[in-house]
Amino acid sequence: MNKLIVLSIVAGIIITVGVVLYILTHVTLFHRITIGGTEYSPGANGRTFVQILRNGFDPVNNAICKVTILYPDNTYFAYDSLMQPLGTDGLYYYDFIAPETEGVYMLSIRCEYPNNLTTYYASGVKVEIGETINHLYETYLLDGTCYEIYPKNREIEAIFNFTEVSSDTGELDVVFIGNMRRYEEDVINMYAYDFCNNNWKLLPNKINYYHPVVANTINDNVSCFIQDNTVSIKFEGSVLNPFQRLCIDELKLEGYTPSSQYITELRGGGEIHVEMKKTVSIPSNETPEVSIIS
């Protein structure tokens, strides 16, 4: 028999969070979930996070949490993107750079428990278009040192192959952590190769300046994306800035089987506010008028 889940809602500066939590199967544990965020100026570093506590106090550190963030016009800023585990206190977070579009960004978060979670790193890369700096192993560790790809004729195309991926994998998350130089129009698309249809499938979340973390989930006909225990991921895009570069600090593939006994499915709701900060000029003998500078 399912128990009612009591939600604890904590906000940052000017954020309202509403959460509805559902018990899906047979587990009857009491959970407390907290979603956090804040208010940002365009271009500021942002973070939203979720905390999961079992029985109200015991941190849950072995979940998979994903966030969806909507622009003020309800288009996707991030779609079902994997959050990073802090590793302690039941905390999971998602980093971003606040876009130029001002307004309220609604967000939702869902969490589940995976079975047989395995992390894979690329065993090889073929750069079809572009120039590289550093070695592929720089993508194995999040340490601030990047595997860099520079455009050639303003184009970037690189294929990363992940081997020894279990054919029994039920869901795959492709996770990029890195950055691009600030130029809003420059976007790198992420694709996964579909061996059943012999084509590249475009994944929804794209790499650009505003997304230092980009994660895409493959959960439909997953077996079509694994052949001979290999998964192929392609980065491809045209850039307007000739001095642009793609910095890959960490690139990984996380495979797992969704649990047949979910503890919970979290449906979180909240707001991220993006607006220009206003500065108040304090009057003095030199500046006798008070003014607000946008």
Alpha carbon separation from 58 to 88, 131, 134, 218 (Å, rounded): 11, 48, 42, 31
Residue 203: strand, helix, or coil: coil
pLDDT tens series, the chain, 294 aa: 333 232 232 233 222 232 222 222 223 334 455 555 568 888 888 888 888 887 777 888 988 899 999 999 999 999 999 999 998 888 899 999 988 888 888 888 888 888 889 999 999 999 999 999 999 999 999 999 999 999 999 999 999 999 999 998 999 999 999 999 888 789 999 999 999 999 999 999 999 999 999 999 998 899 999 999 999 999 999 998 888 999 999 999 999 987 654 444 443 445 565 665 543 334 444 433 333 333
Q: What's the length of the chain?
A: 294
The per-residue pLDDT for 106 is 87
| 160-206 confidence digits (pLDDT tens) | 999 999 998 999 999 999 999 888 789 999 999 999 999 999 999 99
Cα(147)–Cα(184) distance, rounded to whole angstroms?
A: 22
DSSP one-letter code for 263? S
The per-residue pLDDT for 271 is 53
Cα(128)–Cα(139) distance, rounded to whole angstroms?
A: 18
Cα(21)–Cα(52) distance, rounded to whole angstroms?
A: 11
Cα(281)–Cα(187) distance, rounded to whole angstroms?
A: 38
Cα(57)–Cα(8) distance, rounded to whole angstroms?
A: 12
Beta bridge partners of 182: none
What domains sit in the chain, N to C, each tagged with a CATH number?
A: 18-113+259-274 (2.60.40.1930), 117-258 (2.60.120.380)
In this prediction the pTM is: 0.77
Closest CA relative to residue 254, chosen from 163, 136, 120, 80: 120
Cα(178)–Cα(248) distance, rounded to whole angstroms?
A: 5
Contact indicator for 43, 97 with CB cutoff of 8 Å: yes
Amino acid in position 168:
D
Cα(175)–Cα(213) distance, rounded to whole angstroms?
A: 7
Contact indicator for 87, 51 with CB cutoff of 8 Å: no
Contact indicator for 80, 172 with CB cutoff of 8 Å: no
Cα(175)–Cα(180) distance, rounded to whole angstroms?
A: 15
The per-residue pLDDT for 45 is 87
